């Protein structure tokens, strides 16, 4: 199927690009993985996106963006994008070579692509982790928190995600163990204060998870105190990992330049070394990864894509 513009990724960058492209009348497809909505859809509440003085639920915000895109005629498919390639075959009005977007089930072509596939959650790399993914280990408190009512859960990480989600989990869990590898949190003062004030959160600083155990489902973790070297076994039914993110770059790695961490290097207008491929949002190298900056990226990327298409007639 042929489109003018395909947007890959349904987070704030991709949704913004799709809204602008649809509104401008381009035949636009947005491809988002199953369960979509990008990183904000995993956040219980968002308090720093302008326009919502009392905050807004992450899934609700992303649902509003998807509805806005659909209202402008954007088609949305929920599939995993495996690879994007340059097409030898012409697909543009002026014979410009297009791009082919392959998912597990289908292939789509477009004259321009906005790649905004964001980041993927990082794992710990400890023994037992792979076995208990989705069997007690989760990357999304908003999605899975309610499964742990009156249970003990652990949250790993010291950034804003770990601290805010630890607070969120206290709605359900009997106790939340917040495990951070250093003595100081990376998170901002507001979240640190909320954690300090919450009696259900037990803070284990300078502590790392060494292994994960269980039977059919997770039943516990081993942790090491880095100050004393002491190793302890803790009984937990849930383990929420918030140890950062990795760029979701594989589908376009061969078409772009990346930095040493794998983030895509773009020009100021979000263009890349591949004609017609524009990259926006958290997957690109940038100083601040927030919903606000993703929205800005999406608008710039699709503006550049439109310019690219118009120049080629
Ligand atoms: P992050 O800021 O990158 O924090 C990742 C945390 O995981 C760090 O504390 C890091 O420890 C720890 N970590 C990394 N690898 C680890 C490992 N192998 N083992 C144990 N711990 C490990 O990620 P984030 O918290 O997801 O935040 C991402 C961005 O979104 C940030 O800019 C953040 O401010 C923003 N955000 C904001 C809010 C908000 O409420 N305003 C909420 C969520 C996210 P070190 O500190 O030692 O490096």
Per-position DSSP letters for 18-72, written without gaps between them: HHHHHHTT--EEEEE-TT-STGGGG-SEE-SSTT-TT-EEHHHHHHHHHHHHHHT
Domain spanning 123-241, CATH class: alpha beta
Q: Where are the domains of the chain?
A: 2-120+245-311, 123-241
How far is ligand 1, taken at its centre, from the CA of residue 288, in Å?
13
Domain at 2-120+245-311: CATH code: 3.50.50.60
Report whether pLDDT(248) > 90.
yes
Name residue 155's beta-bridge partners: 178, 240
DSSP per-residue letters across 55-123: -EEHHHHHHHHHHHHHHTT-EEEE--EEEEEEEEEE-STTS-EEEEEEESS-EEEEEEEEE---EEEPP
pLDDT in tens, 7-37: 999 999 999 999 999 999 999 999 998 878 9
Report whether pLDDT(95) > 80.
no
- Contact by Cβ (8 Å): 43, 58: yes
Same fold yes or no, 2-120+245-311 and 123-241: yes
pLDDT in tens, 187-235: 999 999 999 999 999 999 999 999 999 999 999 999 999 999 999 999 9
Distance of CA 169 to the CA centre of its chain: 20
Q: Does 39 sit in the ligand 1 pocket, CB within 6 Å? A: no
Axis-axis angle for helices 12-23, 291-311 (nearest 10): 40
pLDDT in tens, 76-93: 999 999 999 998 655 555
Spatial distance between the Cα atoms of 47 and 180, rounded to a whole number of angstroms: 24
Report whether pLDDT(1) > 90.
no
Which two tokens mark 214? 């269980």
Residue 313 pLDDT grade (very low, low, confident, very high; cuts 50, 70, 90): confident
Report whether pLDDT(52) > 70.
yes
Q: Does 75 sit in the ligand 1 pocket, CB within 6 Å? A: no
Q: Cα-flanking dihedrals φ and ψ of residue 66, to 5°?
A: -65, -40
Characterize 210-245 residue by residue with b for buried, 16 or more Cβ atoms within 10 angstroms of its Cβ, and e for exposed: bbbebeeebebbbbbeeeeeeeeebebbbbbbbbeb
To the query of whether residue 140 is one of the catalytic residues in this protein, the response is yes
Report whether pLDDT(309) > 70.
yes
Nearest atom, ligand 1, residue 208 CA: 20
Spatial distance between the Cα atoms of 283 and 103, rounded to a whole number of angstroms: 19
Burial class (CB in 10 A: 0-12, 13-18, 19+), 53: exposed
pLDDT in tens, 103-129: 988 999 999 999 999 999 999 999 999
How far is ligand 1, taken at its centre, from the CA of residue 243, in Å?
6
Task: Identify the three-state secondary structure at position 286.
Answer: coil
Distance of CA 97 to the CA centre of its chain: 30
pLDDT in tens, 137-190: 999 998 899 999 999 999 999 999 999 999 999 999 999 999 999 999 999 999
Q: Does 123 sit in the ligand 1 pocket, CB within 6 Å? A: no
Nearest atom, ligand 1, residue 186 CA: 46
Which two tokens mark 239? 């383990």
What pLDDT is recorded for position 94?
56
- Average pLDDT value for the chain: 95
Find the helix or strand (DSSP H, E) in which 143 lies: helix 141-144
């Amino acid at each position: 199927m042929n489109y003018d513009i395909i947007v890959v990724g349904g987070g704030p960058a991709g949704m913004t690009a799709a809204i602008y492209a649809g509104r401008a009348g381009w035949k636009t497809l947005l491809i988002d993985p199953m369960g979509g909505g990008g990183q904000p859809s995993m956040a219980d509440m968002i308090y720093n996106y302008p326009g919502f003085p009392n905050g807004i639920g992450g899934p609700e915000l992303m649902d509003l963006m998807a509805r806005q895109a659909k209202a402008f005629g954007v088609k949305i498919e929920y599939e995993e994008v495996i690879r994007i390639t340059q097409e030898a075959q012409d697909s543009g009005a002026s014979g410009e070579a297009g791009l082919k977007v392959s998912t597990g089930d289908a292939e789509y072509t477009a004259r321009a692509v906005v790649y905004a596939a964001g980041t993927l959650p990082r794992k710990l790399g400890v023994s037992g982790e792979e076995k208990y993914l989705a069997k007690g280990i989760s990357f999304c408190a908003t999605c899975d928190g309610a499964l742990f009512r009156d249970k003990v859960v652990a949250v790993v990480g010291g950034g804003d995600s770990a601290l805010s989600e630890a607070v969120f989990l206290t709605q359900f869990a009997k106790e939340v163990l917040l495990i951070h590898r250093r003595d100081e949190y990376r998170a901002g003062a507001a979240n640190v204060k909320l954690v300090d004030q919450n009696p259900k959160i037990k803070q284990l600083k300078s502590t790392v998870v060494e292994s994960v155990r269980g039977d059919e489902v997770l039943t516990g973790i081993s942790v090491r105190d880095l100050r004393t070297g002491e190793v302890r076994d803790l009984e937990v039914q849930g383990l929420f990992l918030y140890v950062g993110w990795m760029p979701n770059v594989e589908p376009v790695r061969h078409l772009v330049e990346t930095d040493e961490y794998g983030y895509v290097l773009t020009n100021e207008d979000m263009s890349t070394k591949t004609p017609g491929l524009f990259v926006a949002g958290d997957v690109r190298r940038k100083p601040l990864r927030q919903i606000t900056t993703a929205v800005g990226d999406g608008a710039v990327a699709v503006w550049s894509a439109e310019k690219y298409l118009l120049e080629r007639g």
